[in-house]
């Protein structure tokens, strides 16, 4: 019987025995002890939330353990373990809301990656094809001061098919790699299972087309799965099971080689003999390990055709790149009745920690492998991995319901600083359980090495005014940064942006320093002269702003000084609550009363209009409001705008009504003309100011005192798609934002 069948039959058996009072719910005389800590309950998720075997749901960062956990009624969320209270705390950061998904989590030291895929559990006896139109998604989060925030442009799409499992890792170029197996076919023509991989642009911002692993026979049985791991600082390895031939396959490549070329990949069996393979594996490495070893816990299938209790049930495979070969050692035997292994690499004590499921301590004997029960731990030296006999030490056990399974932990190495945290789920009681323990006193940190400066710039060439984003990629933990941009500008930020207003070639230098020394790196930015606009360019003439801190039904905005006939006026204002504005003659709406959670008792509305100045225009313009409210607004005058068709791009808007936002991002817009002027702004359901416009933009005005409104602009010399634009603000508020472009005459 294959592993997936054993697992679900065993869960059904355990449940039935529990109802009968024969197992799971032991009598008081037979009651088992609790090990570990019971945590949150879950419901509404299709699969046990701590599965699948190769995946990691936990990570260590900034002095805390974190986990991707299912929140009933909401979806998958980031939780933090509060160790003093033994509580997993929901941070409120949600990723995938789909209930039929599982995920693999990777913390790379600066960003969090979560690969979430729709699940199709298949088997050899009853194969189920992967389902198209079920995309696997990569979520990337930045972290600051205890808060994870989803990066702009994410999630990105890894593939468009469901799979039984999926794992990810990051190579030395910054690309994210993913692997999964994909079942196709039908009962008439037969089924094929194929090992797939895909790789992203650096940071996971976009993905290539998924491709079949370019090795001689990447087509195992329908129930087999794959896993991926980065090792030795510049290598990537894919392991997959092929239980029909008794083989665990291992394919490797060097970073920077052609991903889809067969010549880039080397393939070999990790183990190969009858019964040596099953579809349970968990693969880990330590990038700090100079020998580049890879450790894999795998399950055999000896129990499918032999009753010998001494045959290995779980094995540890160790790949040593120096020899190009694997060694194997037994973690537990068939008589131990163990399944679903996970491993942790303990750098503090040079140990491999193996965790697995086996029957509860209150249950004697072993009817068959794969039964849910409790989570056990065994350890062995990394250098000489010889494990003791037996199941090991119980670390997670529900004394009243012997149905724990699917242990999971982190991809990272652990030490005395982190301690060890592993998690499992009881899919009968629908509760998470976890174990948390220390590994002794952390050693004092070694003194830092002198940093080695390096950086990237994007873009490195372009038309002036050219905004360049600089990213520090220095190693050695620098503590200070000093940038010179070649045009007289400087910065002490780690990752600054700089605008080159004039054409030229500019030498850029970065110097980094820590307590052990300093170093520098240099590069060149080239800004070219902008192409001329159609007949001219757009420029701002002046602005005027006003607000009313008392409720009125007349909203009057003064015209800026110095305007002449033919100039274009952009009026923007924010009104409290939900009045309907009526515009003065000659004004055309751009944004018509954009609602910020607006009602008769709360919220606000943002409105934007334009008007071509005519001879004899008044010195101010009045909008009539359907109800008396507080408001704030202003007008900016632009010269050189096409009078008959002033707008050069579609208007985009965005609203955040949570009252917890400290920034808002609008997507890029596409201009049709050279020399266009990008304009945009926002409104708050608040009277206090504090807006910072997007980098490189000029803020023309900000009204405050009634309701905050703001307007800013930046030229776009060449027609095309602009980047996204982010406004930030010092205090969290509800906000509505807009942007478009003015067409030159």
Band (32; pLDDT cuts 50, 70, 90): confident
- CB atoms closer than 10 angstroms to residue 354: 25
∠ CA 292-298-302, nearest 5°, is 145
Cβ partners under 8 Å of residue 343, min gap 6: 282, 284, 295, 296, 297, 316, 352, 353, 354, 355
Tokens of 587: 């004004």
Higher local confidence (pLDDT), 445 or 28: 445
- Do residues 566 and 624 share a domain? yes
The CATH number assigned to the domain holding 503 equals 2.60.40.10
Task: Specify if 473 maps to a domain.
Answer: yes
What residue ranges in 489-567 does DSSP mark as E strands? 490-491, 497-500, 504-514, 517-528, 539-558
What is the Cα–Cα distance from 466 to 528, expressed in whole angstroms? 9
φ, ψ dihedrals at 263, nearest 5°: -70, -15
- CB atoms closer than 10 angstroms to residue 287: 16
Picking from 528, 553, 581, the residue at the C-terminal end of a domain is 528
pLDDT average, residue stretch 229-245: 94
At 379-395, the pLDDT tens digits run 999 999 999 999 999 99
- Do residues 224 and 344 share a domain? yes
Helix (H) or strand (E) holding 295: strand 294-299
Res 70 pLDDT > 70:
yes
Provide the mean pLDDT of the chain: 91
Helices (H), 138-293: none
The CA-to-CA distance between both ends of the chain, in Å, stands at 76
Task: Specify if 287 maps to a domain.
Answer: yes
At 184-202, the pLDDT tens digits run 999 888 999 999 999 999 9
What is the Cα–Cα distance from 281 to 102, expressed in whole angstroms? 16
- Comparing 285-289, 433-437, 477-481, which segment has the lowest mean pLDDT? 285-289
- Comparing 239-253, 255-269, 298-312, 575-589, which segment has the lowest mean pLDDT? 298-312
- Do residues 260 and 316 share a domain? yes
Q: 3-class DSSP state for residue 617?
A: coil
Res 331 pLDDT > 80:
yes
- Do residues 485 and 546 share a domain? no
pLDDT average, residue stretch 415-420: 95
Cβ partners under 8 Å of residue 252, min gap 6: 235, 236, 237, 238, 265, 266, 267
Task: Specify if 467 maps to a domain.
Answer: yes
What residue ranges in 419-501 does DSSP mark as E strands? 420-426, 431-437, 455-458, 461-463, 466-472, 480-484, 490-491, 497-500
Q: Estimate to the nearest angstrom the gap between the alpha carbon of 319 and the chain centroid.
A: 30
- Do residues 654 and 681 share a domain? yes
Task: Specify if 401 maps to a domain.
Answer: yes
Q: State the total domains in the chain.
A: 3
Q: Are 569 and 584 a contacting pair, CB within 8 Å?
A: no
List Cα–Cα distances, 127 to 124, 186, 304, in angstroms: 6, 8, 19
Rounded percentage of the chain residues whose pLDDT exceeds 90 = 83
What is the Cα–Cα distance from 66 to 434, expressed in whole angstroms? 12
Could you tell me the residue range of the domain that residue 371 belongs to?
3-437
Helices (H), 146-239: none
pLDDT of residue 598: 79
- Do residues 379 and 488 share a domain? no
Task: Specify if 491 maps to a domain.
Answer: yes
What is the Cα–Cα distance from 112 to 229, expressed in whole angstroms? 16
pLDDT of residue 730: 87
At 542-577, the pLDDT tens digits run 999 999 999 999 999 999 999 999 999 999 999 999
List Cα–Cα distances, 484 to 147, 458, 495, 509, in angstroms: 31, 16, 13, 5
What is the Cα–Cα distance from 60 to 65, expressed in whole angstroms? 5
pLDDT of residue 477: 87
At 657-698, the pLDDT tens digits run 999 999 999 999 999 999 999 999 999 999 888 899 999 999
What residue ranges in 529-619 does DSSP mark as E strands? 539-558, 568-576, 581-582, 588-596, 604-612
- Do residues 412 and 478 share a domain? no
pLDDT average, residue stretch 349-361: 94
- Do residues 505 and 546 share a domain? no
Listing DSSP states for 142-179 in one string gives: EEETTEEEEPTT-SEEEEEE-BS--EEEE-TTSEEEEE
- Do residues 549 and 501 share a domain? no
Task: Specify if 450 maps to a domain.
Answer: no
Res 377 pLDDT > 80:
yes
The CATH number assigned to the domain holding 243 equals 2.120.10.10
At 110-143, the pLDDT tens digits run 999 999 999 999 887 889 999 999 999 999 999 9
Most confident of 204-218, 456-470, 519-533: 204-218
Q: Are 99 and 162 a contacting pair, CB within 8 Å?
A: no
What is the Cα–Cα distance from 344 to 180, expressed in whole angstroms? 22
What residue ranges in 263-349 does DSSP mark as E strands? 266-272, 281-285, 294-299, 312-320, 325-333, 339-346
What is the Cα–Cα distance from 53 to 253, expressed in whole angstroms? 24
What is the Cα–Cα distance from 314 to 340, expressed in whole angstroms? 9
Looking up tokens 């941009």 gives: 485
pLDDT average, residue stretch 459-473: 92
| Helices first, then strands: H and E counts in the chain | 1, 51
Band (536; pLDDT cuts 50, 70, 90): low
pLDDT of residue 501: 86
pLDDT of residue 443: 56
Higher local confidence (pLDDT), 447 or 592: 592
- Do residues 302 and 261 share a domain? yes
Picking from 528, 548, 568, the residue at the C-terminal end of a domain is 528
At 73-104, the pLDDT tens digits run 999 999 999 999 999 999 999 999 999 999 99
Task: Quote the longest CA-to-CA distance of the chain.
Answer: 101
Residues constituting the chain = 745
Task: Specify if 108 maps to a domain.
Answer: yes
- Do residues 609 and 706 share a domain? yes
Cβ partners under 8 Å of residue 131, min gap 6: 118, 120, 161, 162
At 573-603, the pLDDT tens digits run 999 998 999 999 999 999 999 999 877 778 9
Burial of 153 (0-12, 13-18, 19+ CB in 10 A): middle
- Do residues 348 and 461 share a domain? no
Tokens of 238: 């894919």
Report the predicted TM-score, pTM, of the whole model to 2 decimal places.
0.60
Band (618; pLDDT cuts 50, 70, 90): very high
pLDDT average, residue stretch 416-435: 97
Cβ partners under 8 Å of residue 656, min gap 6: 664, 734, 735, 736
Rounded percentage of the chain residues whose pLDDT exceeds 70 = 93
What is the Cα–Cα distance from 499 to 525, expressed in whole angstroms? 11
Q: Are 248 and 241 a contacting pair, CB within 8 Å?
A: yes
Task: Specify if 432 maps to a domain.
Answer: yes
323, 325, 330, 333 alpha-carbon torsion, rounded to 10°: 180
């Amino acid at each position: 019987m294959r592993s997936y069948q054993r697992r679900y039959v065993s869960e059904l058996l355990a449940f039935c025995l529990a109802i009968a009072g024969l197992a799971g719910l032991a009598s008081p005389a037979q009651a088992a002890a609790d090990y570990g800590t019971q945590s949150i309950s879950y419901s509404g998720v299709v699969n046990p939330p701590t599965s699948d075997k190769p995946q990691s749901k936990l990570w260590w960062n900034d002095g805390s353990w974190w986990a991707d956990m299912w929140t009933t009624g909401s979806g998958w969320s980031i939780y933090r373990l509060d160790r003093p209270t033994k509580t997993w705390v929901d941070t409120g950061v949600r990723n995938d809301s789909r209930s039929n998904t599982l995920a693999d989590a990777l913390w790379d030291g600066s960003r969090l990656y979560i690969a979430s895929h729709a699940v199709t559990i298949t088997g050899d006896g009853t194969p189920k094809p992967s389902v198209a139109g079920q995309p696997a998604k990569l979520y990337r989060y930045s972290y600051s001061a205890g808060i994870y925030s989803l990066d702009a442009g994410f999630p990105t799409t890894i593939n468009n098919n469901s799979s039984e499992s999926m794992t990810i890792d990051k190579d030395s170029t910054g690309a994210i790699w993913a692997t999964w197996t994909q079942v196709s076919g039908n009962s008439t023509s037969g089924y094929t299972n194929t090992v797939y991989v895909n790789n992203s642009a650096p940071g996971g911002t976009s993905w290539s087309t998924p491709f079949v692993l370019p090795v001689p026979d990447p087509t195992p049985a329908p129930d087999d799965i794959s896993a991926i791991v980065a090792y030795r600082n510049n290598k990537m390895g894919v392991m997959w099971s092929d239980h029909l031939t008794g083989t665990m396959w291992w394919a490797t490549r060097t970073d920077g080689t052609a991903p889809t070329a067969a010549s880039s990949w080397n393939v070999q069996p990790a183990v190969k003999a009858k019964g040596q393979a099953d579809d349970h594996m968990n693969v880990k490495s330590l990038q700090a390990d100079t020998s580049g070893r890879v450790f894999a816990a795998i399950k055999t299938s000896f129990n499918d055709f032999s009753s010998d209790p001494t045959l290995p049930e779980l094995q540890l495979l160790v790949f040593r790149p120096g020899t190009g070969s694997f060694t194997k050692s037994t973690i537990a035997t068939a008589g131990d009745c163990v399944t679903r292994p996970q491993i942790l690499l303990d750098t503090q004590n040079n140990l491999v920690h193996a965790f697995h499921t086996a029957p509860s301590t209150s249950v004697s004997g072993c009817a068959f492998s794969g039964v849910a029960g409790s989570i056990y731990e065994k350890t062995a030296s990394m250098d000489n991995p010889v494990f003791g006999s037996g199941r090991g030490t119980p670390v997670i056990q529900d004394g009243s319901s012997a149905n724990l399974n699917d242990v999971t932990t982190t991809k990272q190495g652990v030490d005395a600083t982190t301690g060890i945290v592993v998690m499992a789920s009881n899919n009968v009681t629908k509760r998470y359980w976890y174990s948390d323990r220390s590994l002794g006193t952390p050693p004092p940190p070694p003194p830092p090495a002198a940093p080695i400066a390096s950086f990237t710039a994007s873009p490195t060439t372009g038309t002036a005014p050219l905004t360049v984003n600089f990213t520090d990629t220095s190693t050695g933990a620098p503590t200070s940064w000093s940038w010179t941009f070649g045009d007289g500008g400087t910065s002490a930020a780690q990752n600054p942006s700089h605008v080159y207003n004039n054409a030229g070639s500019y030498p850029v230098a970065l110097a980094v320093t820590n307590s052990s020394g300093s170093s520098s790196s240099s590069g060149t930015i080239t800004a070219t002269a902008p192409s001329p606009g159609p007949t001219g360019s757009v420029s701002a003439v002046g602005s005027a702003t006003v607000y009313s801190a008392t409720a009125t039904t007349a909203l009057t905005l003064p015209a800026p000084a110095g305007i002449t006939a033919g100039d274009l006026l952009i009026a923007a204002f924010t009104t409290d609550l939900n009045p309907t504005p009526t515009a003065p003659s000659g004004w055309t709406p751009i944004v018509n009363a954009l609602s910020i959670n607006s009602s008769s008792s709360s919220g606000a509305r943002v409105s934007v209009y334009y008007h071509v100045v005519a001879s004899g225009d008044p010195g101010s313009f009045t909008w009539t409001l359907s109800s008396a409210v507080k408001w704030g607004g202003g007008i900016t005058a632009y010269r050189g705008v096409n009078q008959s068709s002033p707008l050069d791009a579609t208007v985009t808007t965005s609203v955040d009504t949570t009252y917890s936002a400290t920034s808002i991002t609008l997507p890029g817009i596409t201009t049709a003309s050279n020399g266009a002027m990008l304009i945009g702004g926002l409104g708050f359901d608040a009277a206090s100011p504090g807006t910072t416009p997007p980098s490189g933009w000029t803020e023309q005005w900000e009204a405050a005192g009634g309701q905050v409104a703001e307007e800013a602009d930046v030229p776009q010399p060449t027609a095309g798609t602009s980047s996204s634009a982010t406004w930030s603000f010092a205090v969290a508020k509800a906000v509505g934002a807009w942007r478009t472009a003015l067409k030159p005459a």
